[in-house]
Amino acid sequence: MAVAIAVRVRLFARLREQAGFEAERIEVAQGSTLADVYATLRRTHPALEPDRNAVRGALNQEFSDWDAIVAQGDEVAFIPPVSGGR
Amino acid sequence: MRYDLTTGPIDPREMEAAVAHPAAGAICTFSGTVRDNSRGQSVTHLDYEAYAEMAVPQMRKIGDEIKQRWPGARVAMAHRTGHLEIGDVSVIVCVSAPHREEAFAACKWGIDTLKESVPIWKKEHASDGTFWIEGHDAKPTLG
């Protein structure tokens, strides 16, 4: 890893249960995307949902695309689809 | 405008009071309540979990958009988290507007959008197990 930055990752609901944590500080390379952060997490927590289509990313409390670049100190959340209902 | 996320009971009348004003001729309130059945199974209770720091701003965004789409509308929303029993009110969307047509339309749009974009999850405790409800899917819990 060239230059590392730290982000705070938060997980909710089923993803939180799969990974076994609610919030964790993780290090990724500078220039990493949300997709890179999720891939890093899946390496350390293999039980985490493998299908990224079943996950949404949020960056600093806003829904965000997988190719969004994260910065030092950002809050990154991975969340399952919300409750829905009709 | 009022946007609440709370572990305590939510009161529709209190939300209506928050949107009532002299130029409003209509107040439309949607109350979502906990059903005793789901997917053909009986349900004993629910647990709701929220990403609170994001859920409240998302509710505020929906309220702001309602005010743009339906001029003169005022909005209040509340969602409960934690343990809920059958019959408890889990969510309220309340809209006041000059006339009923806008109040109904804005309230429906508000609850539909809340269900899609506010990060709150439902864990259903049912006769066939415990499930996270994700859109149309029910996925078994681990814990």
Reading chain B (143 residues) residue by residue, the pLDDT tens digits are 899 999 999 999 999 999 999 999 999 999 999 999 999 999 999 999 999 999 999 999 999 999 999 999 999 999 999 999 999 999 999 999 999 999 999 999 999 999 999 999 999 999 999 999 998 889 999 86
A-chain CB neighbours of B43 within 8 Å are none
d(CA B105, CA B19): 16
The per-residue pLDDT for B78 is: 98
- Check residue B51 and give its pLDDT: 97
Q: What is the pLDDT of residue A85?
A: 64
Q: Do A13 and B57 touch (CB under 8 A)?
A: no
pLDDT of residue B66: 98
The answer on pLDDT for A69 being more than 60 is yes
Helix (H) / strand (E) element for B132: namely strand B129-134
| Ramachandran angles phi, psi of B68, nearest 5° | -75, -45
The pLDDT assigned to A1 comes to 54
Q: Could you tell me if residue B32 is left (phi over 0), alpha (psi between -120 and 50 degrees) or otherwise beta?
A: beta
Q: Which of A9, A8, A7, A2 is nearest to A29 (CA)?
A: A2
The span from the CA of B71 to the CA of B58, in Å, is 20
- Tokens representing B83 are 């343990």
- Give the span between the Cα atoms of B56 and B5, in whole angstroms: 7
Q: What is the pLDDT, as a whole number, of residue A86?
A: 65
Q: Cα dist. B59→B1, B64, B118, B136 in Å? A: 11, 9, 7, 22
DSSP string, B32-93: EE--SEETTEEEEEEEEEE-HHHHHHHHHHHHHHHHHHSTT-EEEEEEE-EEEETT-EEEEE
A4-11/A75-79 β-pairing: parallel
Burial (CB count within 10 angstroms: exposed 0-12, middle 13-18, buried 19+), residue B76: buried
To probe the interface with A, which of B56, B139, B141 has the most A CB atoms within 10 Å?
B139
A/B interface, count of CB pairs below 8 Å: 67
Residue B143: what pLDDT? 65
CA closest to A54 among chain B residues = B134
Of B53, B116, B142, the CB nearest to A82: B116
Looking at residue A3, what is its pLDDT?
87
Return the pLDDT at A82: 84
Candidates A18, A55, A61, A83, partner chain B, best to mutate (most B CBs within 10 A): A83
**Segment A59-76 mean pLDDT:** 97
**Residue type at B120?**
I
Q: Whole-angstrom Cα distance, residue B28 to residue B20?
A: 10
Q: What is the pLDDT of residues A8-53, one digit of tens each?
A: 999 999 999 999 999 999 999 999 999 999 999 999 999 999 999 8
